[in-house]
Amino acid sequence: MRWRIVSVGKPRLEYARLGVAFYLQRLRPLAPVELRPVRAGPREAEALLKASEGWLRVVLDERGEALRSRALADRVTRWEDEGVRRVALIVGGAEGLAPEVRAAADWTWSLSPLTLQHELALLVALEQVYRAYTIKRGSAYHRE
């Protein structure tokens, strides 16, 4: 299964930039993944939808479904079993996501009931996708 991480802008904060690069590098041997940033601004929603068209859309939003890491790994396995080939993880910018982007989601995922800074949310989401694959492989990375 391929992953496309569609985010508003590229991470500018050093910790986020380094962390995103780190988890992209760690995830690539387990699943094909690409980062596809779009420009913030008046056409942001259109760009997010276009970049994720034809992909299973997972939208990050604090109002979404919260899962434990093992449940996320189970969901990834279920998608694979159902023949899902491409997943687009959509991360909004500082202004959040437009209603039309949230409405187009196949699944809305909450990382936390807290509102997270968008670059931190991107980093946490990538770490959790990586963790899901390590759980599926039985790696020691995930400890209960």
For 57-113, write each residue's pLDDT tens digit: 999 999 999 999 999 999 999 999 999 999 999 999 999 999 999 999 999 999 999
Tell me the C-alpha distance between 29 and 46, whole Å: 31
Q: Is it the case that residue 144 has pLDDT exceeding 70?
A: no
Q: What percent of the chain has pLDDT over 90?
A: 94
- Region 2-24: mean pLDDT is 97
Mean of per-residue pLDDT scores for the chain:
96
Answer yes or no: are the C-beta atoms of 126 and 20 closer than 8 Å.
Answer: yes
For the record, the structure tokens of 29 come out as 């041997």
For the record, the structure tokens of 124 come out as 């946490």
- Whole-model pTM? 0.95
Give the contacts of 121 (CB within 8 A, at least 6 positions apart): 60, 91, 111
For the record, the structure tokens of 28 come out as 């690539």
Q: Is it the case that residue 114 has pLDDT exceeding 70?
A: yes
Q: What percent of the chain has pLDDT over 70?
A: 99
Tell me the C-alpha distance between 45 and 41, whole Å: 9
